[in-house]
């Protein structure tokens, strides 16, 4: 294999020729004299002149002021934090806060190089509510399994560039006035407003490029902002646009379908009785994933101050991630030969696992495909998020303030086309594998020619892939929030409000293509002979000896193959199993009393929530919720439409107490009950089946919402300016937490029905069920300046969880820590950051639990102020080239088995920032 060029040297050479993206920000984030509000407030220019945030040191101080002045337990990041930290979206920045974890995927697609999901305190991302300016935001996913199979409640942060942010407030303890939905907490992303800017006209622009070392490509970045406000500060208009393109390449190895056991009556066990019941990997693949991501969109914000007491606002946001991608998985098809042939002498069985085996070429008839190859191109895959809000901020009287808002948000995840071919390969050619423990890739080989399509066997493969997928995530809402203030007594103010929302998540169409049997699709002579090959350095970063120079067809060739041989009939190939609709109409009312005394403050509130959920889903057999069927015509069998209606209500109390023990020492106590509705795929999940193992997964519409009883205590010592030493303990008792259990259901067996006769088989299906779970932990935080120009910060989070039935709790990393140091003077700044999280439970694949192993990320940034108009910076992400590792456990057994390994490489951003 050849060696890649030094990533850093290439990046530096590339950077010298190009400008890059960044963003100079001057305005201050919202006022922090009171607890952060769920609705973004509108400070005047005069107010902003009293606090000026400059650089890393100023933003650290502002963030700590927000934390200190809040009655509830929060963490905060200001705009300059995001501008200075090596981060390209909001999630990349928030991962450096105590108690915050990030993940780079939401389904079983494996991890990528950009943070995509946020979770709090050792829980699932679905238990963390993400808000923008206090309201919900519709989201979408570009990856097809996230669109139709694993569909959670979390927001894709890939759609949220850091440049739109003024401040982010992470609420770790709840208040009645916060929108419900985050059992573990909520993240409120506060954007900038036009009347916040100090100058009458502000123009900012960033130009740049990003270099990704694994694909070896450089791509442009742009962000621009224009803000105007009238001389009397009564009218303001802000326009912002962003365009960010980058290429991604991921090298990987996957053990697809996990491990199976050799049956006692199989030919292999008959020849070698010691192999009976022994586990072997079903499929082992060399996976090459390539993608071009283009994130583009913008913000429009208009504010009109009608009079001294009334300000009207219109805020709109749009973001689209174009995510064309091509995935190739060249696999050893172990399940075709391991149960049926005896391995050569010298095989090894360790702890009930066949860890080393070699199989000689055979002369069997029919020919056995020792390999199988999936090539999947997804042109025009995309995700999208947008919202528009209209609000009125009215100071009715000296003691009564009212804020009213209406809005609509909409997200989409689209996979309009999947061009796919699956081929049998290496007929009768022999194979071998050697396992190297659960934390390392396998060594494996296939006989035959891996570098060209000679010897392909379409008759041992298939044509698959959903078409026309467009998943909608939409919410419409109206709310009114009032505040009455009191001048005397310990009751300082009373907050109250009403909110109504109508939320829909649905996928209503999918055409699952198959082979067109009227064509000669099984004839290898009808397929292209020209081809390309994997990069010479494929897999060099993850290890494992695998076939080299693997061939593949281009996306254009796959498109032609599918046009020639695929059946996309909208009736016969209508895939009803993936389709669903969940509509939730929710009304909420709250009242919150805020108290203040000598050295103390606090609040107590009640939020009442009532939800009606209408869940539509399809099944292959009738059930008690069936409203229509059987519906005929689909090759996937007759199906029945079902509707489940569920109405539930809950009164959610919350209390926060803050006491200033000294001028620098703060004690906080908090308790609350919070609510999260089950994931959409848990309620109406698609039925995913594996005809080989007769296993799968599905949904459960009768799930109850998750109610968490939370307690939080913290002690914070602000021992110097920009300095903090803090310790927190927390506990969450999750009633009706959603986990997985197994059921046996009957479905049409697609593989067995290829001959034309429908064959039904029993499948062991993993379905979500309610149980109880507990999460508790400790957080430690340290932040301190060193002299005038240096500073360090560090935090550590310990989390422990368990659930009834001893099932693992999704997302719990027992240990998470962050360490960061910076230098800054008037002209130069630099920052180095490292974050680490230990292993955590990542979900269920078929019937097997799988986990992501521990991982650490090193990032850095340097910046130089050329003059008052121009600054330049260089950011490096994933500098330690981290490897994502996953392992599985069969049916909850303690044995750890290799599952997947990925490398995404490093990224470098050279940024020129202009302000006029």
The residue ranking higher by pLDDT, 93 or 471, is: 471
Residue 168's pLDDT is what? 93
Report d(CA 388, CA 245) in Å as an integer.
25
Report d(CA 611, CA 588) in Å as an integer.
9
Beta bridge partners of 746: 762
Report d(CA 828, CA 26) in Å as an integer.
17
Classified as helix, coil or strand, 488 is coil
Report d(CA 119, CA 152) in Å as an integer.
12
Residue 84's pLDDT is what? 53
Residue 757's pLDDT is what? 78
Phi, then psi, of 79 in degrees rounded to 5: -60, -40
Residue 892's pLDDT is what? 59
418: tokens are 């999947």
Is the pLDDT at 29 greater than 50? The verdict is no
CB atoms within 10 A of CB 500: 15
Q: What is the pLDDT of residues 572-614, one digit of tens each?
A: 999 999 999 999 999 999 999 999 999 999 999 999 999 999 9
Which segment of 202-206, 503-507, 759-763 scores lowest on mean pLDDT?
Answer: 759-763
Is the pLDDT at 807 greater than 90? The verdict is no
**Over the chain, what is the mean pLDDT?**
90
Q: Which residue is it, tokens 């769920």?
A: 38
The residue ranking higher by pLDDT, 595 or 148, is: 595
* 227 CB-side CA count, 13 A: 23
Q: Give the residue from 661, 771, 641, 628 showing the smallest Cα distance to 706.
A: 771
C-alpha pair distances (Å), 52 with each of 25, 367, 505, 531, 754: 11, 75, 42, 59, 70
Is the pLDDT at 1 greater than 80? The verdict is no
Whether the full predicted model's pTM is greater than 0.95, yes or no, is no
Residue 385's pLDDT is what? 98
* 5 CB-side CA count, 13 A: 14
Which segment of 237-241, 501-505, 691-695, 717-721 scores lowest on mean pLDDT?
Answer: 691-695
Average pLDDT rounded to a whole number, residues 440-456: 95
Residue 847's pLDDT is what? 63
276 in Cβ contact with 262 (< 8 Å): yes
Helix (H) or strand (E) holding 858: strand 855-865
Report d(CA 586, CA 502) in Å as an integer.
6
Report d(CA 884, CA 886) in Å as an integer.
7
Report d(CA 799, CA 123) in Å as an integer.
9
Residue 893's pLDDT is what? 65
Q: Which residue is it, tokens 């495909």?
A: 369
* 771 Cβ contact partners less than 8 Å away, ≥ 6 residues apart: 736, 737, 738, 739, 803, 804, 805, 807
Percent of the chain whose predicted confidence (pLDDT) is above 90: 78
764 in Cβ contact with 258 (< 8 Å): no
49 torsion bin: left (phi>0), alpha (psi -120 to 50), beta (else): alpha
Average pLDDT rounded to a whole number, residues 96-112: 84
User: What is the band of 764 on the pLDDT scale with cuts at 50, 70, 90?
Assistant: confident
Chain centroid to Cα 424, Å, comes to 33
Report d(CA 892, CA 841) in Å as an integer.
12
User: What is the DSSP-derived secondary structure letter of residue 661?
Assistant: S
Is the pLDDT at 111 greater than 90? The verdict is no
Strand ranges in 598-701 using DSSP code E only, listed in sequence order: 600-619, 626-631, 639-660, 665-676, 688-690, 695-697
659 in Cβ contact with 183 (< 8 Å): no
User: What is the band of 8 on the pLDDT scale with cuts at 50, 70, 90?
Assistant: very low
282 in Cβ contact with 257 (< 8 Å): yes
String of b and e for 539-575 (b: at least 16 CB within 10 Å)? bebbbbebbeebbbbebebbeebbeebbbbeeeebbb
The residue ranking higher by pLDDT, 85 or 612, is: 612
Residue 741's pLDDT is what? 76
User: What is the band of 743 on the pLDDT scale with cuts at 50, 70, 90?
Assistant: confident
CB atoms within 10 A of CB 768: 21
DSSP string, 699-743: --TTPPPEEEEEEEEEEEE--STT-EEEEEEEEEEEEEEEEEEEE
Residue 80's pLDDT is what? 67
Residue 51's pLDDT is what? 38
Q: What is the pLDDT of residues 833-868, one digit of tens each?
A: 999 999 999 887 666 788 999 999 999 999 999 999
Q: Between 2.40.170.20, 2.50.20.10, 3.40.50.300, 3.40.309.10, what CATH number should domain 7-353+362-475+486-582+599-915 receive?
A: 2.40.170.20
Beta bridge partners of 252: 287, 902
Q: What is the pLDDT of residues 650-696, one digit of tens each?
A: 999 999 999 999 999 999 999 999 999 999 989 987 676 777 778 77
User: What is the band of 36 on the pLDDT scale with cuts at 50, 70, 90?
Assistant: very low
Query: Quick one: CA torsion of 745, 749, 752, 754, rounded to 10 degrees?
Result: 170
Phi, then psi, of 735 in degrees rounded to 5: -85, 135
C-alpha pair distances (Å), 184 with each of 98, 102, 307, 730, 814: 14, 14, 40, 10, 16
Which segment of 15-19, 403-407, 893-897 scores lowest on mean pLDDT?
Answer: 15-19
Residue 83's pLDDT is what? 52
* 80 Cβ contact partners less than 8 Å away, ≥ 6 residues apart: 25, 53, 54, 55, 56, 58, 59, 62
Cis peptide before 609 (omega within 30 of 0): no
Residue 848's pLDDT is what? 73
Angle at 106 between CA 102 and CA 112, to 5 degrees: 65
CB atoms within 10 A of CB 265: 9
Average pLDDT rounded to a whole number, residues 142-151: 89
Residue 10's pLDDT is what? 36
Beta bridge partners of 821: 792, 832
Residue 44's pLDDT is what? 37
User: What is the DSSP-derived secondary structure letter of residue 442?
Assistant: P
What are the contacts of 275-278 at 24+ separation with CB within 8 A? Answer: 275/349, 275/354, 277/352, 278/349, 278/352, 278/353, 278/354
Classified as helix, coil or strand, 159 is helix
Residue 895's pLDDT is what? 83
Average pLDDT rounded to a whole number, residues 731-760: 82
Residue 823's pLDDT is what? 96
Residue 246's pLDDT is what? 95
Average pLDDT rounded to a whole number, residues 495-506: 98
Q: Give the residue from 567, 652, 570, 508 showing the smallest Cα distance to 174.
A: 652
């Amino acid at each position: 294999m050849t060696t890649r060029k030094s990533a850093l040297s290439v990046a530096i050479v590339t950077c010298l020729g190009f400008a890059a993206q960044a963003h100079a920000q001057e305005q201050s984030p919202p006022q922090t004299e009171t607890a952060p509000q769920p609705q973004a407030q509108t400070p005047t220019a005069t107010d902003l002149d009293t606090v000026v945030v400059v650089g890393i040191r100023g933003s650290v101080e502002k963030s700590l002021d927000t934390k200190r002045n809040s009655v509830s337990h929060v963490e905060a990041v200001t705009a300059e934090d995001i501008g200075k930290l090596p981060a390209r979206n909001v999630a990349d920045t928030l991962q450096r806060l105590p108690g915050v974890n990030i993940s780079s995927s939401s389904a079983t697609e494996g991890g990528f190089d950009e943070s995509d999901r946020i979770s709090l305190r050792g829980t699932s991302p679905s238990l963390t509510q993400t808000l923008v300016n206090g309201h919900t935001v519709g989201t979408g996913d570009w990856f097809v399994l996230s669109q139709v199979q694993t569909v959670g409640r979390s927001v894709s942060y890939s759609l949220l560039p850091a440049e739109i942010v003024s401040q982010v407030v992470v609420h770790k303890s709840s208040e009645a006035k916060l929108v419900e939905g985050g059992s573990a907490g909520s993240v409120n992303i506060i954007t900038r407003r036009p009347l916040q800017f100090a100058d009458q006209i502000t123009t900012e622009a960033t130009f740049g490029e990003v270099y990704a070392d694994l694909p070896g490509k450089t791509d442009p970045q742009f962000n621009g902002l224009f803000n105007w406000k009238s001389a009397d500060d009564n009218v303001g208009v802000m326009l912002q646009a962003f365009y960010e393109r980058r290429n991604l390449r991921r090298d990987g190895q996957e053990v697809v379908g996990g491990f199976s056991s050799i049956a006692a009556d199989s030919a292999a066990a008959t020849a070698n009785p010691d192999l009976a019941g022994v586990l072997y990997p079903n499929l082992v693949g060399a996976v090459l994933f390539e993608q071009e991501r283009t994130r583009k969109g913008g913000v429009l914000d208009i504010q009109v101050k009608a009079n001294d007491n009334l300000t009207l606002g219109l805020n709109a946001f749009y973001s689209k991630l174009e995510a064309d991608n091509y995935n190739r998985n060249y696999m050893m098809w172990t399940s075709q030969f391991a149960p049926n042939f005896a391995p050569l002498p010298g095989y090894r069985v360790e702890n009930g696992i066949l860890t080393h085996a070699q199989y000689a070429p055979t002369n069997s008839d029919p020919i056995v495909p020792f390999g199988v190859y999936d090539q999947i191109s997804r042109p025009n895959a995309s995700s999208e998020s947008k919202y528009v809000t209209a609000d009125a901020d009215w100071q009715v009287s000296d003691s009564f303030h009212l804020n009213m808002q209406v809005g609509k948000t909409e997200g989409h995840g689209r996979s309009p086309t999947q061009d796919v071919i699956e081929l049998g390969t290496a007929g009768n050619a022999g194979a071998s594998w050697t396992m190297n423990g659960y934390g390392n890739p396998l060594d494996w080989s296939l006989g035959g020619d891996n570098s060209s399509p000679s010897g392909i066997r379409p008759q041992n493969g298939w044509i698959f892939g959903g078409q026309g997928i467009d998943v909608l995530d939409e919410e419409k809402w109206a709310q009114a929030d009032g505040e009455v203030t009191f001048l005397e007594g310990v009751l300082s103010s009373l907050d109250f409000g009403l909110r109504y929302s109508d939320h829909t998540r649905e996928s209503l169409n999918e055409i699952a293509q198959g082979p067109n049997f009227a064509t000669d699709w099984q004839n290898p002579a009808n397929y292209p002979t020209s081809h390309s090959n994997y990069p010479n350095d494929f897999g060099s970063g993850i290890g494992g000896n695998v076939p080299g120079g693997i061939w593949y067809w281009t996306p254009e060739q796959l498109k032609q193959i599918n046009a020639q041989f695929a059946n996309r009939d909208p009736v016969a190939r209508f895939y009803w199993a993936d389709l669903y609709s969940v509509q939730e109409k929710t009304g909420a009312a709250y009242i919150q009393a805020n108290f203040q005394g000598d050295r103390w403050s606090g609040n107590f509130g009640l939020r009442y929530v009532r939800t009606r959920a209408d869940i539509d889903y399809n099944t292959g057999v009738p059930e008690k919720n069936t409203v229509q069927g059987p519906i005929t015509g689909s090759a996937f069998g007759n199906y029945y439409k079902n509707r489940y209606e569920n109405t539930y209500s809950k009164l959610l109390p919350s209390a926060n107490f803050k006491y200033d023990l000294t001028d620098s020492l703060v004690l906080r106590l908090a308790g609350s009950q919070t609510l999260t509705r089950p994931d959409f795929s848990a309620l109406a999940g698609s039925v995913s089946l594996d005809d080989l193992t007769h296993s799968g997964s599905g949904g459960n519409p009768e799930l109850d919402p998750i109610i968490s009883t939370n307690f939080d205590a913290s002690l914070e010592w602000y021992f110097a300016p920009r300095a903090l030493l803090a310790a927190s303990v927390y506990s969450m008792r999750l009633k009706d937490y959603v986990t997985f259990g197994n059921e046996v259901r009957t479905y049409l067996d697609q593989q067995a029905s290829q001959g034309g006769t429908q064959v039904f088989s029993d499948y062991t299906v993993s379905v979500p069920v309610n149980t109880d779970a507990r999460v508790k932990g400790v957080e430690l935080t340290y932040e301190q300046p060193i002299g005038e120009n240096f500073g360090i910060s560090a935090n550590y989070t310990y989390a422990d969880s368990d659930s009834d039935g001893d099932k693992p709790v999704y997302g719990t990393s027992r240990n998470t820590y962050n360490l960061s140091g910076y230098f800054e003077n008037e002209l130069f700044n630099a920052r180095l950051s490292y974050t680490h999280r230990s292993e955590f439970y990542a979900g269920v694949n078929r019937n097997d639990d799988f986990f992501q192993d521990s991982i650490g990320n090193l990032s850095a940034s340097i910046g130089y102020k050329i003059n008052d108009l121009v600054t330049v910076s260089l950011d490096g992400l994933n500098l330690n080239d981290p490897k994502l590792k996953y392992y599985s456990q069969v049916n909850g057994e303690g044995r750890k088995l290799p599952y997947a390994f990925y490398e995404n490489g490093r990224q470098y951003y050279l940024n020129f920032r202009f302000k006029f």
